[in-house]
């Protein structure tokens, strides 16, 4: 049986269809979750897709966090459910406090759409375990507010606890310097491209794995991330079933 994975649709989401497509390619059954609905429909995992939720007029993700669906997503996450935020979805997760840090305006204040390379800092998470290796993984970024920021203490704690999930790297695969405009174009602190929460069930990243999941699109390096999520979600369903049976 294919695993059902929810894709939240906010007004202004614009990567929801791409995410649905990538999930189908990875063998999952995507379920669209409307922002006004509190029910998650029993999905095994939730993806918050990219876009401009509610127009992002005030600040990226700041309105979306108050939507009915996000209250349910927060509860789902608290119960150990798998949640992945991509681009705007990452911004929403950060605004909702489900992952640490914040996404600020890009260093040069302009929107940036280009291909970057990232490396997976951990391969033991539900979002990265199916990757062939740490990378470098090539995939696009497309955002105006993607500069990862947190205070030094938070960053140190993140590093110590394995909270850094992805980092921007240069062509040789080495961690990008903060001031490397080519490799770390949005100016993210410590070149952080994605993070994972302490429990290990909620993650967000600015690059778009769903746009780099087929060779015809120039890179299928993102497919491993999507596949990781799908496999982890299937496993979670299995475990939950076992738990229920044991009770």
Partner 1 sequence: MTVAERSVDLLHRRLGVTDEELGAIRDRLGGRDPNDLELAMFSVMWSEHCSYKSSKPLLKTLPTAGDGVVAGPGENAGVISIGDGQAVAFKIESHNHPSAVEPYQGAATGVGGILRDIFTMGARPIAVLDALRFGDPGDARTRHLIDGVVRGVGGYGNCVGVPTVGGELVFDPTYTGNPLVNVMAIGLLEERQLTLAAAPGPGNLVVLFGSTTGRDGIGGASVLASATFGDSDPSKRPSVQVGDPFAEKLLIEASLELIERGLVEGLQDLGAGGITCATSETADRAGTGIVVDLDAIPRREPDMEPFEVMISESQERMCAAVLPDRWEAVRDVCVRWGLPVAVIGRVTDDGDITVVEGGLDDDGRARAGAREIARMPAAALTSDAIIHERLATAPQHRRAAPAPGAPIDPSDRLPERGMDPGAVLLGLLGTANLSSRRAVFEQYDSTVGADTVAGPGRGAAVLRVKNTTKALVASTDGNQAVGALDPYLGAALSVAEATRNVAITGARPLGVTNCLNYGDPTRPEAFWQLSEGVRGLGDACRVLGLPVTGGNVSLYNESPDGPIAPTPVIGVVGLLEDIGRLVGPAFVTEGDPILLVGESTPGMSGSAYAALAGAAVEDGPPALDLAREVALQAFIREAISRELVASAQDVSGGGLAVALAEGAMWSGLGAQVRVPVATSPAVELFGESPSRLVLTARPRFAPALMLLALQHGLPIEELGVVGGDRLVIELIGAGATGASEERGSRIADALEVPIADLRHAWDHGLARALGWEG
Catalytically annotated residues: 87, 208, 210
Structure tokens at 27: 């063998």
* Cβ count near 214 (within 10 Å): 15
Nearer to partner 1, 17 or 107 (CB): 17
* C-beta of residue 118 within 8 angstroms of C-beta of residue 140: no
**Short-list 81, 165, 77, CA closest to 128:** 165
Smallest gap, in angstroms, from Cβ of residue 171 to partner 1? 12
**Partners of 5 in beta bridges:** 30, 45
Smallest gap, in angstroms, from Cβ of residue 170 to partner 1? 17
Residue ranges of the alpha helices (H) in 130-204? 152-161
Which residues of the shown chain bind partner 1 in the complex (CB under 8 A)? 11-12, 14-15, 17-18, 21-22, 50-52, 54-57, 110-114, 140, 142, 144, 208, 210-211, 213-214, 216-218
What are the CA-CA distances from residue 204 to residues 91, 92, 166, 171, 243 (Å)?
A: 8, 9, 9, 23, 28
* C-beta of residue 142 within 8 angstroms of C-beta of residue 50: yes
Nearer to partner 1, 109 or 153 (CB): 109
Nearer to partner 1, 66 or 111 (CB): 111
Smallest gap, in angstroms, from Cβ of residue 217 to partner 1? 6
Rounded CA separation 188/7 (Å) = 27
Smallest gap, in angstroms, from Cβ of residue 186 to partner 1? 12
Smallest gap, in angstroms, from Cβ of residue 105 to partner 1? 14
Nearer to partner 1, 21 or 107 (CB): 21
- For 85, the 3-state DSSP assignment is strand
Distance of CA 162 to the CA centre of its chain: 16
The set of residues, in sequence order, having a beta carbon less than 8 Å from that of 156 and lying 6+ positions away, is none
Nearer to partner 1, 64 or 150 (CB): 64
């Amino acid at each position: 049986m294919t695993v059902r994975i929810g894709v939240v649709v906010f007004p202004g989401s614009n990567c929801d269809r791409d995410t649905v497509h990538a999930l189908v390619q990875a063998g999952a059954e995507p379920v669209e979750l409307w922002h006004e609905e509190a029910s998650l429909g029993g999905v095994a995992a939730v993806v918050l897709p990219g876009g401009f939720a509610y127009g992002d007029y005030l600040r990226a993700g700041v309105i979306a966090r108050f939507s009915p669906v996000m209250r349910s997503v927060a509860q789902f996450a608290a119960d150990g459910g798998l949640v992945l935020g991509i681009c705007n979805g990452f911004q929403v997760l950060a605004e909702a406090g489900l992952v640490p840090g914040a996404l600020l305006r890009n260093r040069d204040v302009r929107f940036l759409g280009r291909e970057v390379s990232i490396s997976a800092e951990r391969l033991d998470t539900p979002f990265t375990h199916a990757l062939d290796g740490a990378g470098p993984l090539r995939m696009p970024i497309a955002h105006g507010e993607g500069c990862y920021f947190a205070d030094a203490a938070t960053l140190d704690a993140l590093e110590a606890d394995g909270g850094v999930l992805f980092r921007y790297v240069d062509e040789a695969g080495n961690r990008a310097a903060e001031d490397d405009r080519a490799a770390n174009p949005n100016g993210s602190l410590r070149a952080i491209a994605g993070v994972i929460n302490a429990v290990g069930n909620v993650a967000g990243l600015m690059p778009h794995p769903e746009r780099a999941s087929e060779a015809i699109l120039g890179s299928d390096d993102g497919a491993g991330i999507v596949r990781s999520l799908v496999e982890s979600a299937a496993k979670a369903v299995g475990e939950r079933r076992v738990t229920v049976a044991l009770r």
